[in-house]
Structure 1
Amino acid sequence: MPTSPFKAPVTPAPKHFAVGDQVTHDVYGLGRVIGIEEGVAALVDFGSTQTRIPSPYPKMTKL
């Protein structure tokens, strides 16, 4: 409501990753994106394992 004294909650922008991006994950650690299922998941190589991380990637950040 435009006249509300309360600010509307800010929704964070969705995270976008590309093949080759270096990422870090809270559980798996450092990895590299090796595949993308647009809007669905990212396939990440963490060295010892390859894992499919579903969107919205709450525990993964781009380095």
Structure 2
Amino acid sequence: MTKHAAVRRPLPTSPFQARPEAPRKHFAPGDRVTHDRYGLGRVVSVEETGDAAALVDFGSRQERIVQPYHAMYKL
């Protein structure tokens, strides 16, 4: 006679199944930021509608950076 291990289904409300969400980054016009590719810059404007994005002035160029802002950090 072979014994099989009981298969337990995870409860949908179990706190051990939930993966913590990373805190969302919020930027405001005038914030000084650093970007892994473009370097130091200043936020010019922020779009909250649709795909949220920030327009950032990096001195020699302006770039539109969309959420999630993985490579951009507030200074």
Backbone CA RMSD of aligned residues: 1.7
Output the amino acid matched with 2:67.
Answer: S
Match of 1:44, as an amino acid? V
Alignment partners' CA distance in 2, 1:16 and 1:3: 30
Report the TM-score when normalising by structure 1.
0.85
Q: Which runs of 5+ in 2 are unaligned?
A: 1-10
1:11-50 equivalent positions in 2, closer than 5 A = 11-38=21-48, 40-50=52-62
State the TM-score, normalizing by the size of structure 2.
0.73
Q: Give the % identical residues.
A: 58
Which segments of 5 or more consecutive residues in structure 1 lack a partner in the other structure? none
Query: C-alpha deviations, 1:25-56, integer Å up to 9, x for none?
Result: 00000000001001610000000000000111
Instruction: Please list every run of at least 4 consecutive aligned residues from structure 1 whose deviation after the TM superposition is greater than 3 angstroms.
Output: 1-4
In terms of Rg, which structure is larger? 2
Distance 2:18 2:67 in 1: 24
Larger relative strand fraction: 1
